Amino acid sequence: MLSLILGGSGSGKSERAEQMAADSGLPVSYIATMASQALNDTEMRERIRQHRERRPSHWRTIEDRMDLETVFHEASGRCVLVDCLTLWLSYYFTIGWGEEAILSRLHRILEAAKGRTSPLLIVSNEIGMGIVPDNSEARSFRDLTGRANQLVARHVGHVEFMVAGLGLCLKGGSSS
């Protein structure tokens, strides 16, 4: 099953995906998409530390790899949790890829993932519900994220929207 877990900051989306991964009964590969190697942001390093501490030690954590197609292939037979799509998009956006190239790559990744026989859980932020950003770059990223979330939602069988730690099933079954 391919699933998308959406929500805002602090909504419980990561925790929900982690619970779904644990409930799968399979070995878990956790793909952390924050490009952390050269990270100079103290607050973000603290968030990363909290996420690391929350994960079970027997899960395989894959960090600083954006080649999701290869990682999915390497994790055959395992539950794969991608946390999060928004940071993956941000990586390509900040190195200068255009929206069309990013969405095309994401589409290829999703097409390749269709053949998976084990769960794939994708966490993403819903960033389009706030104020309109005051600059073009931020508006472009907001729009890219919305389009990417739509693309993923079309490809997966299950979509949940998290609010205040509660899941609302948008597609394909029940929520938490």
Q: Is residue 176 part of a domain?
A: no
pLDDT in tens, 43-83: 877 877 887 888 889 999 998 899 999 999 999 999 999 99
pLDDT, greater one: 91 or 44? 91
Q: Is residue 16 part of a domain?
A: yes
Query: Can you tell me the mean pLDDT for 137-154?
Result: 97
pLDDT at 52: 81
The Cα-based distances of 159 to 49, 84, 127, 134, 150 in angstroms read 27, 15, 16, 30, 11
**CATH code of the domain in which 135 resides:** 3.40.50.300
Q: Is residue 145 part of a domain?
A: yes
Question: To the nearest whole percent, how much of the chain has pLDDT over 70?
Answer: 96
91: containing domain = 2-171
Is 107 a known active-site residue? no
Q: Is residue 148 part of a domain?
A: yes
Structurally, how many domains does the chain consist of? 1
